[in-house]
Amino acid sequence: MKMKGRKPFFQALILPSEEGWQLRTILKRHYNFSTGLIRQIKHYGLILVNGEEKLLVYKAKAWDRVEVVLSFASKVEPEDLPLDVVYEDSDIIIVNKSAGQVVHPRHQYISGTLANALAGYLVAQGEQPSSFLINRLDKGTSGLLLAAKNPLAALILSKEINSMQKDYLALVSGRVEKDSGVIDLPIEDPKDGVKRTISQDGKDAITRYKVIERFNDCTLLRLSLGSGRTHQIRVHLSAINHPILGDDLYGGFPIDIDRPILHACSLRLFHPRTGVICEAEAPLPDDFSLLLQQYSGSRP
């Protein structure tokens, strides 16, 4: 196990009220360490107390300085690929994904993914190549993706994923007449294939929308998610007869751009270490902007 040069991903001072407690207990009760993470530290990491290695059963003393180091291998091959970093600190990294890029290696996409790019970027920064992607975007969707840079941040963020404010912009077929609305329809995963459907047997899903601009035969919407189902926005908009332009899977009429015109434009979350609100914005990609310019001459 290579620990030399590894930076601790967690540091804390033991309070007088915690004196005599085992480190394991302090980490679980006061710092959100899960049983699984404690197990990883036991087998693949180490704990330093005032610079000296200690076991998890060590009984802490007031004002002990505790550091946790963990070596975790990357599950993807680091690659030197373009990466648009919007925000980064020691715990999280937010990137702006381009349309057409797959997020995780799978099937025929074994390289060139966003995960490969993140691993390569972290290696170039002198950090461990592993990251933990918190939210997902379809291959054709552009915009903001959040990743944790250590397992504790990943654990905390994964519990808060549904409370994060995730906003999207979409250009949809037809004129949406209501200025705003809520789509509350359950979504069922497919038994085969990839297409999701609306079904009472599905999982609860809520999408809120607001009209930004209307054109003759399409509408620009801003959407936010009250849940995080796969293809949720695409399925919901198709269900109200306003599928996203370019989304041939869910009935959007074809355009010159070979992807659904959907962009994750805004992300707002509580930072996993500080609790401070962290916000990020991603400007519209060129293809989306150019399409809007084309439709701007068709306002009613």
Query: Which positions are annotated as active-site residues?
Result: 138
User: With helix as H, strand as E and coil as C, how does the chain read?
Assistant: CCCCCCCCCEEEECCHHHCCCEHHHHHHHHHCCCHHHHHHHHHHEEEEECCEEECCCCECCCCCEEEEEECCCCCCCCCCCCCCEEEECCCEEEEEECCCCCCCCECCECCCCHHHHHHHHHHHCCCCCCCEECCCCCCCCEEEEEEECCHHHHHHHHHHHHHCEEEEEEEEECCCCCCEEEEECCEECCCCCCCCEECCCCECCEEEEEEEEECCCEEEEEEEECCCCCCHHHHHHHHCCCCECCCHHHCCCCCCCCCCCEEEEEEEEECCCCCCEEEEECCCCHHHHHHHHHHHHHCC
